Structure 1
Amino acid sequence: MSSTSDDERDRDTEGRARNARPRDGLGRPLPYGVDGVERQPEGVVRAPGETVTEAQALLEAGKPFHAHEVFEDAWKSGPDEERALWRGLAQLAVGLTHAARGNVTGGARLLRRGAGAVEEWGAGSGTSHPYGLALAELAAWARELADVVERDDAAVDARTWAPRLRGDVSR
């Protein structure tokens, strides 16, 4: 039985649970009362270029979990024909998150899934650089990182491995 009553739970005005627990830069929960990294607001509608710019800044800051949330907003609010692109980019960011947390299996799996998704979307859309995104290079980066994570069986540094979304992503 839980010691927290319904009155003490953090809920929004519609009664949905909110997670006010602080998080670290990789999105891992921290103990209540500890200072964490400011969370990305959810449900923000951005122009595609703004999404890419904001996600890039978060990736470079070593916050791939937060970049994933930015891509997730685009996935949920963007046009239907672009949902698979944004979902694939979110998978790449959360794959990097898991790789940085040391989750070898989950990180490699998500990186490869995201690589396939962005390649498939690019092939189906007839464009390999939507919004300046370098899809083939991102897919190659993700597969390389998946191989490194599996080979080394260790966490990677999220900043060191942050891809450049709009250009050369090689290491």
Structure 2
Amino acid sequence: MTNAGAAAGRSPDGRDRDTAGRARNARPRDGLGRPLPYGADGVARQPEGVVRTPRETVAQAQALLDAGRPFHAHEVFEDAWKSGPDDERALWRGLAQLAVGLTHAARGNATGGARLLRRGGGAIEEWAVVSGEDRPYGIPLAALVGWARELAGRVERGAGPVDARTEAPRLGP
């Protein structure tokens, strides 16, 4: 399997490194982003540092969420938060937190999942108040906040690992 940003080799201390010498875990990952043993078949990672339009970001993230791959959707949102305008960083970071919250909930990590769902929901709710926008790029922020709170509550009440595909939020109409 080939990954963008994959390790170019191992350093003397045994850590995976990319071509620039930065630490990068080169282990393959499953559909929820969990590391698999070296040599195992994994799911291709999202390429890092891709600059997309906001609507391309939403469409790509929605496709990944619909496929049950919220960890990968998080990486798409992370690219937007790192490359987009400063006044939208909190929006994209909050959306990334929602995707990671769903990832943890699907992995069975109730505490981490609920915490990130609430944090991401709070971040996009606050961004909507500050920006005065409630549907940037067609994203229904109020509905996402409601989805995050409802799912966080179910996860905290012991819903167990959730199905990332069936629990995926809708990012547009």
Quick check: TM above 0.5? yes
2:103 counterpart residue number: 97
Pick from 125, 134, 142 the counterpart of residue 119 of structure 1. Answer: 125
Structure 2 residues without counterparts, runs of 5 or longer:
1-9
TM-superposed CA distance for 1:10, in Å, is 3.5
Pick from 35, 49, 52 the counterpart of residue 55 of structure 2. Answer: 49
TM-superposed CA distance for 1:5, in Å, is 5.2
- The one-letter code matched in structure 1 to 2:51 is V
1:77 counterpart residue number: 83
Give the SS at the match of 2:112: helix
Counterparts of 1:101 and 1:61, CA distance in 2? 15
2:156 counterpart residue number: 150
- The one-letter code matched in structure 2 to 1:121 is W
Counterparts of 1:93 and 1:159, CA distance in 2? 12
Instruction: Give the 4+ runs in structure 1 shifted more than 4 A.
Output: none
After superposing the two structures, state which structure 1 stretch, 109-118 or 15-24, moved more: 15-24
TM-superposed CA distance for 1:19, in Å, is 1.8
Using structure 2 for the length normalisation, give the TM-score. Answer: 0.91
Pick from 43, 64, 72 the counterpart of residue 70 of structure 2. Answer: 64
Pick from 103, 113, 123 the counterpart of residue 107 of structure 1. Answer: 113
Counterparts of 1:85 and 1:129, CA distance in 2? 11
Counterparts of 1:106 and 1:166, CA distance in 2? 26
* % same residue: 78
Is 2:17 the partner of 1:11?
yes
Counterparts of 1:68 and 1:139, CA distance in 2? 16
CA deviations over 1:19-47 (Å, ceiling 9, x no partner): 21100000000011110000001111110
Give the SS at the match of 1:62: coil
Pick from 165, 169, 172 the counterpart of residue 163 of structure 1. Answer: 169
Structure 1 vs Structure 2 CA RMSD: 1.4
Counterparts of 2:51 and 2:136, CA distance in 1? 18
Counterparts of 1:73 and 1:163, CA distance in 2? 19
Counterparts of 2:11 and 2:155, CA distance in 1? 42
